[in-house]
Structure 1
Amino acid sequence: MNPLTPRLVLPLVLLFAPACLDTSQPTPPKNPCDPNPCTQADKTTCANDNGRAVCLCREGTIPRPNGTCEAITTANCPEHPGDSAEPDDCIARAAPLDASRARTQGIEPVGDYDFFRIDATARDAYVLTVTPGPGALLPRVDVFDPEGRWIRAQDGNPGVQVGFKARVSAPYTVRVSHSPRDPSPATGTYTLQLAPPVQDDFGDTPEEAAALVPAPGGTSATLVSGRFEYGQDEDWFSFPVVRDATYRIEFDTTRTVPALAAFIRENVKSPFLTVQNSYVDFKAASSTTVFIDLYSANEATGTYAFRVYEFR
């Protein structure tokens, strides 16, 4: 969630900080797809999404936002003349896309959609770049998960770059079109390039947060290093706090200083603190677990490093 608006709910004080990564290994979770729980007529393929079973539509059908799988028809997957790349106007007919080569084609006629399929691997991060050719085309890229649900979109300025992390090993879909930010219709060519995928280093949700152990103030602390693999990437961490103790998070200023949103275990939806600073201190109002979400405020890739200290 990139919470960009500063909000304060718990008492806090701004200060400075370092940490130690908890390397203990939890018991491996049970595979939710063994045995396969997907028994619906059109949903028999199971994918593991961080311990949750996801049932995917079979080939030849289109996933809808309401969870159903529709058979392909001219109503939900039309074909039209004038586009040399047809048929590619719906998820079920998406053209395969990989990092081996760039693709150049066009949005034609007005209102055309071009869909592409990425056979993704769980935990890998994917970055796509669309560069418009001569003409008035202002490209837009939308990303959809294997269930057909919209993930995110980016509009061109004039080119566009968008990234996403695959949560399951299954086909993800991207759609290229003319951006609705341009009130006038337009057609034109574009070049689409998929970068080689890289594995995401840290989880993107509170459930996937990497556990840290704060170092006592005045002692040496382990430097925790990470990277934003794509502009919209988020990295989550957690650490225990004790009531009335002060905690300091200190970033390495020779690298990217990310934006930070801090939450407590009892409410991981509303941050008690959002800030972008080389150091941050807060006083714990209760004994609980604090979660921190690190992200790039300007949606740029880059590396970061930090430590966490505890002062009692």
Structure 2
Amino acid sequence: MPSRHPLAPLPLLGLTALLGAGCLSTTEPPAPVDPCEPNPCTQGDKTACVNDNGRASCVCKAGTILRPNGACEPLSAANCPEHAGDAAEPDDCLARAAPLATASALTGRTIEPVGDYDFFQIDGTARTIYTLTAEASAGSLLPRLDVFDPQGVWLTALDATTSPRVSLGFKARLSAPHYVRVSHSPRDPSPGTGAYTLTLAPSVVDDHGDTVTEATGLTPSAGGSTSPSTLSGTFEYGQDKDVFSFPVTLNAGYRVEFDTAGGRVIPALAAYIREDVRTPFRTAQNAFIEFRADSTTTVYLELSPPTGATASYSFRVLEFR
């Protein structure tokens, strides 16, 4: 008897609950409540909400940084105070960022005194992913990493939480210098200082785009096909997103199936239609999802790592008419 394909099709389930403009389904329980929806952070510039283990935490909005006096100060080239510290000072601004080579580690750096920032420069290459790790080795430092584009515009950040170590990845969209800032996490109210090691892992090229304009196109296979098309991908860093697109036809049913063989993960999924790429009509993390199209349009699948770590995945899309 021939072996069963690891993604062998299952019967299309009944579709009864309206999920938004475009599609129907009832295969998963409702998503957990997000404490940041609606956003409770409305005081001054501390309007960025972070879901901290189910509790809302208010931090400085993008484009500002927290100073020791508690104020959120706009980022600029002027944020470069002269002060004592390690041998690399002054390095509190983009203009004085120290070069950081790939596959390298820097030691002997400190966040000192309270409120210190250390900036580093990476010579980025377009569509290349860089992953940094900051680990405190002494003192009360709880490190935070921020990334800035070639114009100094803030891109992303991540704070250490339960351990003095944080890893953050980002994708360079331009072949130009990008900047990284190390600081004490503003989510820790204590005046943290201390030594740390900063490591930049070997760079990798992103396998799939992470926006709808960079989406990897696919063609759904016919339901019941003996040789359906399968797509694979890798989350190269913990914050990676891979986006795929495919056409859907009015009244046709669709099934997205993930393969868990060989250690592959089931990604977190958000599905959008071409007419609204901001609000997903479906979010899930299941071995499969189903929906029926109520218009002829394009669907985008945004996949994210379920555990915030590197992982591989494989899936296919089936169409039933």
CA shift at 1:98, angstroms?
A: 1.3
Q: Residue by residue, what CA displacement relative to the aligned partner does 1:17-42 show, whole Å, maximum 9, x if unpaired?
A: xxxxxxxxxxxxxxxxxxxxxxxxxx
Match of 1:197 in 2: 203
CA separation in 2, counterparts of 1:100 and 1:276?
33
CA separation in 1, counterparts of 2:79 and 2:120?
16
CA shift at 1:102, angstroms?
A: 0.7
Is the contact between residue 125 and residue 198 of structure 1 (CA under 8 Å) also seen in structure 2?
yes
Match of 2:256 in 1: 249
CA separation in 2, counterparts of 1:253 and 1:284?
27
Secondary structure of the equivalent of 2:20? coil
Match of 2:3 in 1: none
Matches within 5 A, 1:58-69: none
Q: Residue by residue, what CA displacement relative to the aligned partner does 1:138-189 show, whole Å, maximum 9, x if unpaired?
A: 1111111112111111111321000000011011101001111111112100
CA shift at 1:14, angstroms?
A: 5.1
Match of 2:147 in 1: 143
Match of 1:124 in 2: 128
Is the contact between residue 144 and residue 182 of structure 2 (CA under 8 Å) also seen in structure 1?
yes
Match of 2:19 in 1: 8
Provide runs of 4+ in structure 1 moved above 3 Å: none
Q: 1:184 aligns with which of 182, 190, 195?
A: 190
CA separation in 1, counterparts of 2:103 and 2:170?
19
Deviates more, 1:159-168 or 1:85-94: 85-94
CA shift at 1:296, angstroms?
A: 1.6
Identity %: 60
Is the contact between residue 215 and residue 310 of structure 1 (CA under 8 Å) also seen in structure 2?
yes
CA separation in 2, counterparts of 1:186 and 1:217?
57
Is the contact between residue 136 and residue 188 of structure 1 (CA under 8 Å) also seen in structure 2?
yes
Is the contact between residue 83 and residue 109 of structure 1 (CA under 8 Å) also seen in structure 2?
no
Matches within 5 A, 1:1-312: 8-10=19-21, 11-13=23-25, 75-104=78-107, 105-156=109-160, 157-219=163-225, 220-254=227-261, 255-312=264-321
CA separation in 1, counterparts of 2:149 and 2:91?
17
CA shift at 1:87, angstroms?
A: 2.3
Give 2:158's aligned amino acid: Q
CA separation in 1, counterparts of 2:199 and 2:26?
43
**TM-score (normalizing by structure 1):** 0.77
RMSD: 2.0
TM-aligned CA distance change 1:284 to 1:231, over 3 Å: same
CA separation in 1, counterparts of 2:234 and 2:19?
27
CA separation in 2, counterparts of 1:184 and 1:309?
53
CA shift at 1:13, angstroms?
A: 2.4
Instruction: For CA contacts below 8 A with separation 6 or more, give which structure has more relative contact order.
Output: 1
CA separation in 2, counterparts of 1:137 and 1:76?
21
CA shift at 1:111, angstroms?
A: 1.0
CA shift at 1:92, angstroms?
A: 1.1
Give 2:19's aligned amino acid: L
* 5+ residue gaps, structure 2: 1-17, 28-62, 65-74
CA separation in 1, counterparts of 2:164 and 2:95?
28
CA shift at 1:88, angstroms?
A: 1.2
Is the contact between residue 256 and residue 318 of structure 2 (CA under 8 Å) also seen in structure 1?
yes
Secondary structure of the equivalent of 1:135? coil
Match of 2:48 in 1: none
